[in-house]
Amino acid sequence: MYKVYVLKRRKRGSEVVKNSKTDTPSYAAASAAFWEIRKDTRYKGKNFLLLMTKDKVKLNVHSFLAKAGDEPYIELDQTLNSGEKHVH
């Protein structure tokens, strides 16, 4: 199960932002939710993290305080980690 959500970072722990959470078995739906939130200007420059997990494992993390080249920062044209293992 994929989960996409925004965390508000605070000194005494983080909290999930109300109405920011998507739970879905679909990578495509999770990815779409991630990009929709990533483009949301309400969070830009503020102490929020955008996370995508699969089965409780962090796949993608974006800090709205970070700048391009910083960690964790995800570019708008970057490919997201799907959590799928590829066999060669």
Question: How far, in Å, CA of 2 to CA of 62, rounded?
Answer: 16
Domain that holds residue 13: 2-63
Q: Is residue 75 part of a domain?
A: no
Q: Is residue 68 part of a domain?
A: no
Predicted pLDDT of residue 87: 53
SS3 17: coil
Question: How far, in Å, CA of 44 to CA of 58, rounded?
Answer: 21
Pairing of strands 57-63, 2-8: unpaired
Share of the chain above pLDDT 70, in %: 97
How many structural domains comprise the chain? 1
Q: Is residue 21 part of a domain?
A: yes
Q: Is residue 80 part of a domain?
A: no
pLDDT bucket at 10, cuts 50 / 70 / 90 = confident
Q: What pTM was computed for the model?
A: 0.89
Question: How far, in Å, CA of 66 to CA of 72, rounded?
Answer: 7
Q: Is residue 84 part of a domain?
A: no
- Supply the Cα-derived Rg of the chain in whole angstroms: 13
